[in-house]
Amino acid sequence: MILARKFYSSKMKGLLVLTALFVAVFGKKTFEGDQVLRITAKNEAQIFLLKELSEQEHLGLDFWREPVHESLPVDVYVPFHSLQAVRVFLRYNQIQYNVMIMDVQDLLDDEEREMVKYRTIPRSTDDFVYTAYHDLNSIYSFMDMLVAENSNLVSKIVIGQSYENRPLNVLKFSTGANRPGIWIDTGIHSREWITPASAIWSAKKIVTDYGRDPVLTDILNNYDIFLEIIANPDGFVYTHSNDRMWRKTRKPNPGSSCVGVDPNRNWEIGFGGPGASSNPCSQTYHGPSVHSEPEVKAIVDFVKSHGKLKAFLSIHSYSQMLLYPYGYTRTSAKDQVELHELARKAVSELQSLHNTAYTYGSVITTIYQADGITVDWTYEQGIKYSYTFELRDTGRYGFLLPADQIIPTAEETWLALMAIMEHTKNNPY
Amino acid sequence: MKVFCSLWLLLSLVKLSPAPPASQDPPFACRGAGDPAPPQPETPEDMASSGDLEPTHYPARRAATVALHQLNTRHGSPHRLFALQEVHKASAEDVAAGGRKYSLDFSVTDWASGSAGPALRCSAEVMFPGTERSSPDVQLRCEALQQINSTAQDHAFYQKYIAPESAVSAQHIPDSYGNVSEEMQPFWRLARVAASFIMLRESSENTEFNMAQVASVTQQESSEKQLMLEFVVLLHDLPSQEIVQWKLLASWSPDRGVRVLQTEWQPRCPHDTKPPN
């Protein structure tokens, strides 16, 4: 590695590292075990010795800072095969040194990682990688980009804050004021990664199809669509940093070492019944009181203050089901017949695309008794078309659904969402 | 509490118990404020369903899942793993001593052959005993099962890994993103078959188990020409939504199939934080 020795500076060091990287990437050279030493000579005799050292060509040394004067540090790149010899030499001559760079290859790897990361930050929603799972920051960036690119159609509302003070962001798709609304949420259970992944695709689908697809255009000309892509951001971050299988919120429970409340048992409908747990360590812990979780309270407040939501779709995974109220009681919902028929239609649409088989019915008969759930509450608030989705699959990968299924899942789910939204539009109440 | 938890885990690893408590009560050291709850028992009304059952709803589906666990313990292999495709008909009746017997007519597919494989038609009687701590009993018949014998792939897999220097070791299958490498697919299937022994044993009318992830697989020294594998698996129970961790030692060969030699429930203490995947 030939370097311009006279012009050493920290900027040059950066350039040198990049050059090394260039060589490493294209020359497939490895710098494993190579080090950079900073030598402090204490007198002229030691400087003389170091100059002699620099003339030993066979060592392959590279002086980033030449030995000039004992008041100036001497920096030398030492390839692995020469390390032992150089150290012995320095020690024998009692020349002080310290290791500036422990392993040049590690440094290059870190740099490369940074560069790759930088390269893959999308600059627009057309750049965004829909076929991969993303972390919270990427998803929140996506939202901002979507709004920026479609400011006539999309805006972002913050409906509250999570326990750990993260914003609860909702995308509002609207073409006019004072419209009735359709609500969709995903990611309320944080380990269900396929749900926000599908929502991201759906958000892009909406802006793409508005003005092109007559059915969606008609829906949006009469209704607003609200999309909360990450309803439980604290839990979502936790699935990335600590526990991929985390489900609940991240609010501590006083008197217990167990954290979190099941946000889908925290609603004021059949609260505390047998279809939820009173144990803070349980995955279905209902929480100390109704709407105790800020993530839940934010939606409650939004629904009440909006007052004109006509459909409420809460999306979970897995099991491949489309479910309507109730979860807390076997008593049939007043609109059971219509809800059942609409579910049948939506599932049929869904299945038409990739032949994915869904089951449908009320929560309590189809999956299990569940008390204090979202859609029971929204239904009781008068939002007739309240449904819970359970997306792919049926247990093979479960929560760990491969990323290559994101788009097929999103596409088929979209057909079901459209069926429900279209029915909502055609049956105003 | 943390010290007790670590100590308990340490001790439990040393002493391998053959049959863990069916109710999954937390170990003493994890109790107190930190109790993980056992799966939620359903209210009596839910389980009143007798006579014909809706095939797509949970009572029939849970019973069929149990039958599938049995099928896999008997016929699963690195290149054969059965999954429920559809329940066609189901009924249930009360039987002696508070038990319940389900009669099922269903189809299964083989995950290993993907969408290419045909569906097999099966029928089963699944009996859940009235006593809490007993496993269900399954009588199972599937068409064309006798014609299914071990595949060439199984034999090749066996030859490769029975070699004395083989020492497979891997973690997180699938990883957080759902990836399973080609090489790990048969090990994932073996883990799923071995886990089926546990899932079968632990099942009741109130559970619906799947294997959420293989936390680790470590090949042990082969014994009596059997591949020996130590698995740590995460099971997911749908009704309670709990993730339950089990360590198990399994053997496999094309001739003898999968056998599970040791199982050990590994409690996840409440304040455990897992390292990033």
ipTM for the complex shown = 0.84
Average confidence (pLDDT) over B66-92:
96
Nearest CA in chain A to B84: A394
Interfacial A residues in 109-138 facing B (CB < 8 Å): 132-133
Nearest CA in chain B to A278: B37
- Residue labelled with tokens 């049948």: A344
Contact B271 A258 (CB under 8 A): yes
Phi/psi at A100 (nearest 5 deg)? -85, -45
DSSP code at position A119: H
Residues B244, B251 contacting (CB under 8 angstroms):
no
Q: Is B169 on the interface with A (CB under 8 A)?
A: no
Distance from CA of B163 to the nearest CA of A (A): 30
State the pLDDT at residue B131.
79
Contact A242 B33 (CB under 8 A): no
Q: Please state, in angstroms and rounded to a whole number, the distance separating the CA atoms of residues A385 and A304.
A: 16
- A306-315, B127-136, B144-153, B223-232: least confident range: B144-153
Contact B43 A367 (CB under 8 A): no
Residues A236, A136 contacting (CB under 8 angstroms):
yes
∠ at Cα A178 (A175, A181), nearest 5°?
75
Contact B56 A247 (CB under 8 A): no
Active site annotation includes A390? yes
Residues A293, A271 contacting (CB under 8 angstroms):
no
Q: Is B234 on the interface with A (CB under 8 A)?
A: yes
Closest by CA position to A50, among listed A99, A90, A84, A88: A90
Interfacial B residues in 89-148 facing A (CB < 8 Å): 111
Contact A240 B276 (CB under 8 A): yes
Return all residues near B147 (Cβ < 8 A) that are at least 6 apart: none
Q: Give chain B's radius of gyration (CA, Å).
A: 19
| Catalytic annotation, pick one of A192, A295, A390, A412 | A390
Nearest CA in chain A to B30: A257
Phi/psi at B49 (nearest 5 deg)? -65, 115
Q: In which element (H, E) is residue A416 found?
A: helix A406-426
Question: What SS3 state is found at A317?
Answer: strand
Contact A400 B240 (CB under 8 A): no
State the pLDDT at residue B14.
42
Domain locations in chain B as residue ranges: 2-266
Across all residues in chain B, what is the average pLDDT?
Answer: 83
Q: Please state, in angstroms and rounded to a whole number, the distance separating the CA atoms of residues B230 and B249.
A: 4
Interfacial A residues in 341-360 facing B (CB < 8 Å): 357, 359-360
Torsion angle, CA of A48/A51/A52/A57, rounded to 10 degrees? 180
- The series of mean pLDDT values per 10 residues for chain A, 429 residues long, is 49 62 56 85 91 90 87 88 87 86 75 62 92 97 98 98 98 98 98 98 98 98 98 98 97 96 98 97 98 98 98 98 98 98 98 97 97 98 98 97 98 98 98
Contact B56 A366 (CB under 8 A): yes
Residues B158-170: pLDDT tens digits? Answer: 999 999 889 999 9
Residues B245, B232 contacting (CB under 8 angstroms):
yes
Taking contacts as CB-CB distances below 8 angstroms, the residues of chain A near B33 are 255-258, 280
Q: What is the CATH number assigned to the segment(s) B2-266?
A: 3.10.450.10
CA distances from A400 to A244, A336, B179 (A): 9, 33, 8
CA distances from B202 to A38, A177, B40, B69, B213 (A): 63, 55, 14, 11, 18
Q: Please state, in angstroms and rounded to a whole number, the distance separating the CA atoms of residues A68 and A183.
A: 72
Question: What SS3 state is found at B153?
Answer: helix
Distance from CA of A268 to the nearest CA of B (A): 20
